[in-house]
Amino acid sequence: MTSKMATKLNVGCGQDIRDGYVNIDGADLPGIDFVVDLDACATTRLPLPDDHFQQLELSHVLEHLRNPLALMQELYRVAAPGARLQVKVPHGGHDDAWVDPTHVRAIVPQTFSYFAQPKYVDFDYGYTGDWRVERCDVLVPRQIYDRIGRDKILEAVVIYRNVAKEIIVDLVAEKPARPRDPALDQPVVYQIVPF
């Protein structure tokens, strides 16, 4: 079964069913391959093989989870070494991160450093995944970008609400996991991308 299973995984896909992907979601919708509670990964493994998937997508899911570390650890388990995971979330400084009553957390670019082993130098939550940030884009509406200007946009994203709308992060599964070495714990560097 594993050898015939697609090597692309669409996590929390909802109605965005993709051909050539294994589509998983909490809702039993047409086209869903596996119905799973993504917030129960601390106690229930995903029904997927270890080290299998080359490409994973997680679009607007993390902000809905009470325990995102457990899901990220499970995705790490099912990811092949060097697999790529793209995550999309509303920027924590935008109203979109807060107005949906199903959102339980806000996420900012630095949140993604907590999905890597080097972050856990002086504390330990039992998390064993290791996702390295390869690229982080912070999307800003073109009209805001043009009004504020390129030179001040980074400052505006940090200081003001509703400037940055979405974060798109490309992560790589570091297998074997890197050591918990403070020298390897780097801040997430992100680019501002007008859209």
Look at residue 125 and tell me whether its pLDDT is greater than 90. yes
- What are 78's two structure tokens? 């099912």
Residues 175, 51 contacting (CB under 8 angstroms): yes
Average pLDDT over residues 109-133: 96
Q: Is residue 96 part of a domain?
A: no
Confidence grade of residue 3 (pLDDT, cut at 50, 70, 90): low
The answer to whether the peptide bond before residue 109 is cis (omega within 30 degrees of 0) is no
Look at residue 76 and tell me whether its pLDDT is greater than 50. yes
Residue range 27-42, pLDDT digits in tens: 999 999 999 999 999 9
Residue 13: its pLDDT value, please?
96
Q: Is residue 42 part of a domain?
A: yes
How many Å separate Cα 108 from the centre of its chain? Answer: 11
Q: Is residue 47 part of a domain?
A: yes
Strands 79-90 and 8-11: unpaired
Domain count for the chain, please give it: 1
Residue 1: its pLDDT value, please?
47
Residues 86, 112 contacting (CB under 8 angstroms): no
Residues 113, 188 contacting (CB under 8 angstroms): yes
Look at residue 4 and tell me whether its pLDDT is greater than 90. no
CATH number at residue 20: 3.40.50.150
Q: Is residue 19 part of a domain?
A: yes
Residues in the chain: 195
Q: Is residue 11 part of a domain?
A: yes
CA–CA distance, 127 with 139 (Å, rounded to integer): 29
Percentage of the chain exceeding pLDDT 90: 95
Q: Is residue 28 part of a domain?
A: yes
Question: What's the domain range around 127?
Answer: 2-88+103-136+168-188
Q: Is residue 72 part of a domain?
A: yes
Q: Is residue 145 part of a domain?
A: no
Percentage of the chain exceeding pLDDT 70: 98
